[in-house]
Copies of this chain bind each other. A is one copy, B any other.
Amino acid sequence: MTDQTHSYPVDGTNRVKRRHDRGFYDHDTVHKLLDAAVMAHVAYVIDGQPFCTPTLFWRECTRLYWHGSSASRMLRNLSEGEPACVTVTHLDSLVLARSGFNHSADYRSVMAFGQARLVEDPEEKLRALTMMVDRFFPERTASLRPATTQEIKATTVIVMDIDRASAKVRAKGIADDEEDYELPIYSELLPVRMVMGAPEACARMPGGVNRPATLAPYREGRLLEEALTEAYGMAYGAATGA
């Protein structure tokens, strides 16, 4: 359950400076946008060079977890705790206005800041590896071939307590200068959305293996973010996902 009464602290790092009317810092807004996504972009620095890496991630309370391999450059660097910025973006539309200046896009994004570190404690790591699957596909790990020692060793999990975070939301569609509306210029909103295709069952399954009911959130034509949000609620319920 998210929390409308708590907010992330605001300072020079996460304050939404440009278009500050679009900025939100409350847990409720920030967490809902995070829990509606499967992929984040993580920024980190090695020897002054910034890297921006796409990765699967998930939230637990005010922590973010994400996945990598012991071999990746990011994780080698993060093992001792490194500043990172985790960003999630939902694009909602393109806005064709009557001036170039008012062309825009509707979107909802979150930037979360903190110190990222490797999950090294064996118990914490096993639990994270379970949730890496079960957050998206509730209760699925219990039905899988168990992880081998080598697989656990070869999978790396990163965790970051969110120190500061901000959400930025534009949801106003076409917004031209008042005097421009009477001009004979075509203007429109182009909605976009991330949609699910039809699930494709593996052709190599033995007979009698059926799709588990826990995958019900994922069905053809549905918004991916709705499926992810529903699955999140199933996986974490009202207690631990706060």
Contact = CB atoms under 8 A, between A and B. Distances in A.
A196 interface: yes
Nearest to A42: B52
A9 to B, nearest CB: 15
A211 interface: yes
Given A72-B17, A72-B18, A193-B197, A52 B187 contact: no
A211 B188 contact: yes
A206 B193 contact: no
Interface string A58-95: 00000000001101110000000001111101010110
Interface in A181-234: 181-202, 204-206, 208-212, 215, 218, 224
A195 B195 contact: yes
A18 B71 contact: yes
Contacts of A105: 38-39, 56
B188 A201 contact: yes
- Count chain B CB atoms within 10 A of each CB in A100, A182, A199, A224 and give the residue with the most: A100
Contact of A96 (B130, B137, B197): B137
Interface of A: 13, 17-18, 38-39, 41-45, 48-54, 56, 68-69, 71-73, 83-87, 89, 91, 93-94, 96, 98-101, 103, 105, 107, 109, 111, 113, 129-130, 132-133, 136-137, 140-141, 143-148, 151, 154-155, 173-174, 180-202, 204-206, 208-212, 215, 218, 224
14 contacts: A17-B73, A41-B41, A41-B89, A49-B83, A96-B137, A101-B155, A143-B185, A186-B209, A187-B201, A188-B201, A191-B197, A192-B197, A193-B195, A195-B195
Given A100-B151, A193-B194, 17 more contacts: A17-B71, A17-B73, A41-B43, A43-B43, A45-B50, A54-B87, A54-B107, A96-B215, A100-B147, A101-B147, A143-B185, A145-B185, A186-B210, A187-B202, A189-B200, A193-B195, A195-B195
